[in-house]
Structure 1
Amino acid sequence: RLRKVRHEHLNLYTGVCIDSPKFAIVSNWIRGINLHEIIHIQNDSIQLNIAVQYAAQIAQAMSYLHEKSINHMSLRTTNIFVQNNRIILTDYGLVPLSKCFRVTDQPAIIAPRGWLSYLAPEIIRKLDPRNEETILQHTPQTDVYAFGTVWYELLFREFPYAKQPPEYIIWRAGNSIKQPLSSVHISKYAKDIINQCWSFAPDDRPDFAMLCKSLSKMPGKRTLVRSPSTPLQYNARLHIETQF
Structure 2
Amino acid sequence: MIEEVRRSSGTLMKAHWHGELAVRIIKPDPKLSEVEFLNLFRNQVFRLRKVRHEHLNLYTGVCIESPNFAIASTWIRGSTLFEMIHIRNDVIPLNLAVNYAAQIAQAMSYLHEKSINHMSLRTSNIFVQNNRIILTDYGLVPLSKCYRCNDQPCIIAPRGWLSYLAPEIIRKLDPRNEQTLLQHTPQTDVYAFGTVWYELLFREFPFAKQPPEYIIWRAGNSLKQPLSSVHISKNAKDIINQCWSFASDDRPDFAMLCKSLTKMPGKRALVRSPSTPLQYHGNQISNHNFS
Q: Secondary structure at the match of 1:7?
A: coil
The equivalences for 1:73-222 within 5 A come to: 73-96=119-142, 99-100=144-145, 102-104=147-149, 105-219=151-265
Q: Distance in 2 between matches of 1:28 and 1:152?
A: 28
Q: Distance in 2 between matches of 1:190 and 1:148?
A: 10
Q: Distance in 2 between matches of 1:100 and 1:151?
A: 24
In structure 2, what is the equivalent of residue 228 of structure 1? none
Q: Secondary structure at the match of 2:121?
A: coil
| Structure 2 portions without partners, runs of 5+ | 1-46, 268-281
Deviating beyond 6 angstroms after TM superposition, the runs of 4 or more aligned structure 1 residues are none
Q: Please, which of 15, 36, 41 is the counterpart of residue 61 of structure 2?
A: 15
Higher radius of gyration, 1 or 2: 2
CA gap of 1:95–1:79, structure 2 versus 1, over 3 A, is farther
The letter of the residue matching 2:152 is: Q
TM-score scaled by length of structure 1 = 0.89
TM-score scaled by length of structure 2 = 0.75
In structure 2, what is the equivalent of residue 68 of structure 1? 114
Q: Which has the higher contact order (CA 8 A, sep 6+)?
A: 1
1:46 aligned onto 2:99:
no
Q: Secondary structure at the match of 1:65?
A: helix
Structure 1 residue 111 displacement after superposition: 1.5
The equivalences for 1:20-35 within 5 A come to: 20-35=66-81
Q: Distance in 1 between matches of 2:81 and 2:252?
A: 23
Structure 1 residue 170 displacement after superposition: 0.4
Identity across the alignment (%):
83
Q: Distance in 2 between matches of 1:126 and 1:81?
A: 30
Q: Secondary structure at the match of 2:117?
A: coil
Q: Secondary structure at the match of 1:44?
A: coil
| Structure 1 portions without partners, runs of 5+ | 222-235
Structure 1 residue 21 displacement after superposition: 4.3
Q: Secondary structure at the match of 2:184?
A: coil
RMSD over aligned Cα atoms: 1.7
Structure 1 residue 141 displacement after superposition: 0.3
Structure 1 residue 238 displacement after superposition: 3.6
Q: Matched residue pairs, number?
A: 229
- Say if 1:109 and 1:240, in contact at 8 Å, map to a contact too: no
